[in-house]
């Protein structure tokens, strides 16, 4: 079974509007972490936001927020007020296990976001 599922291969959003990128995950661990990364065409993976499994509040970082629904095992990324520079591939990733023992990220297949002027 896929550990991280991103069901939207491509998304379009109008500039200044909000957009939600979906991510569901599968793990039997109680302790895990969820990450979102942005990858522009240059290739670098840029960290956006992190949510720990025990965090009760949804994570926010500027225009990025993570809609964490633990029972549904979903961790959707919300980008508010989209900008042209937000056009990129977005990856959801999971680190299973405790932070002091987990040593790898498992990535989803990504969502290509295009912001339209």
Interacting residues toward another protein by CB under 8 A: 33, 35, 37, 42-47, 50, 52, 91, 93, 95, 99-100, 102-110
* Min separation Cβ 27 and another protein, Å: 14
Query: Nearer Cβ to another protein, position 85 or 117?
Result: 85
Query: Nearer Cβ to another protein, position 4 or 115?
Result: 4
Q: Distance from CA of residue 35 to its chain's centroid?
A: 6
* Min separation Cβ 96 and another protein, Å: 10
* Min separation Cβ 23 and another protein, Å: 14
Of the candidates 105, 94, 96, 89, the residue with the CA atom closest to the CA atom of residue 46: 89
Mapping DSSP to helix (H, G, I), strand (E, B) and coil, where does residue 17 land? coil
Which tokens sit at 20? 């939600």
**E-assigned strand segments in the chain:** 4-5, 10-14, 19-21, 24-25, 32-39, 46-52, 60-61, 64-69, 74-79, 88-96, 106-107, 111-116
Query: Nearer Cβ to another protein, position 11 or 105?
Result: 105
* Min separation Cβ 73 and another protein, Å: 20
């Amino acid at each position: 079974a896929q550990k991280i599922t991103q069901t939207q291969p491509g998304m379009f959003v109008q500039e200044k509007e909000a957009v939600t990128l979906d991510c569901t995950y599968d793990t039997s661990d109680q302790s895990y972490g969820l990450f979102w990364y942005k990858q522009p065409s240059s290739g670098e993976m840029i960290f956006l936001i992190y949510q720990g499994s025990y965090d009760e509040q949804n994570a926010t970082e500027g225009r990025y927020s993570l809609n964490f629904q633990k029972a549904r095992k979903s961790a959707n990324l919300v980008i508010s007020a989209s900008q042209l520079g937000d056009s990129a591939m977005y990856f959801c990733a999971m680190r299973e296990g405790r932070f002091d023992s987990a040593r790898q990220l498992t990535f989803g297949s990504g969502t290509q976001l295009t912001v339209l002027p």
